Amino acid sequence: DIQMTQSPSSLSASVGDRVTITCRASQSISSYLNWYQQKPGKAPKLLIYAASSLQSGVPSRFSGSGSGTDFTLTISSLQPEDFATYYCQQSYSTPPVTFGQGTRLEIK
Amino acid sequence: EVQLVESGGGLVQPGGSLRLSCAASGFTFSSYEMNWVRQAPGKGLEWVSYISSSGSTIYYADSVKGRFTISRDNAKNSLYLQMNSLRAEDTAVYYCARDSDHRDGYIYYDAFDIWGQGTMVTVSS
């Protein structure tokens, strides 16, 4: 199974900050990498698919990059509604689909 | 509105059974692959099971293989998860999620683009 490792596990930032979250795969997954946002008590929401493609309706301050084993999710200017937990997920070698452990983004 | 609504969660004793349902609306359910994903309290996301659009192909996580059964009824726009021999470690919110293909030339990328609100399953005596 492909293991997904996110860093950091938690992060404190302020409104307006530029934030980057990293996801590393245990083997190459090409661009088969998705990012999700989850707020407390809510279902996950798809932000980015295929490593860098923005899901319809997602603000352009979110962007994704990377291929192979190393990927990043960047929020260019944090907004109050962006404080949430973010998960990466690989869809290259399934089953099983695997998720990273999550990165909790908190207000500083 | 494109929507998935889960039901059937609750409190069950270890060794017991439960059947979850996921009702789909606002899209052509029979055209999409579907998944169940769970989240234990305070923990991350764990994929549980997959079913193809026709129901002919099914996969399970090792943690539930032999105990859980995924199925679908395309005539009723519904997805199911039959859970038997439940354990304390199965306690989680269970989400159904639509598996959508995004095409880039000749390559298709899967992603879970629509999720239900989740249903809580608690396994405890």
Chain-chain contact of B112 with A31 (C-beta, under 8 angstroms): no
- Which tens digit of pLDDT belongs to each residue from B23-70? 999 999 999 999 999 999 999 999 999 999 999 999 999 999 999 999
pLDDT score for B31 = 97
With beta carbons less than 8 A apart as the criterion, state whether B120 and B9 touch. yes
CA-only gyration radius of chain B, Å: 14
Chain-chain contact of A99 with B35 (C-beta, under 8 angstroms): no
pLDDT band at B106 (very low <50, low <70, confident <90, very high): confident
- Chain A partners of B102 at a C-beta cutoff of 8 Å? 49-50, 53
CA-only gyration radius of chain A, Å: 13
Single out the residue of B34, B58, B32, B63 nearest to residue B46, CA to CA: B63
Interface probe, candidates A35, A54, A97, chain B, greatest B C-beta count within 10 A: A97
Of residues B44, B104, B113, nearest to A102 (C-beta) = B44
* Strand order through the sheet with A19-25: A4-7, A19-25, A70-75, A62-67
The dihedrals phi and psi of B77, each to the nearest 5 degrees, come to 55, 45
Chain-chain contact of B61 with A49 (C-beta, under 8 angstroms): no
- Which tens digit of pLDDT belongs to each residue from A73-92? 999 999 999 999 999 999 99
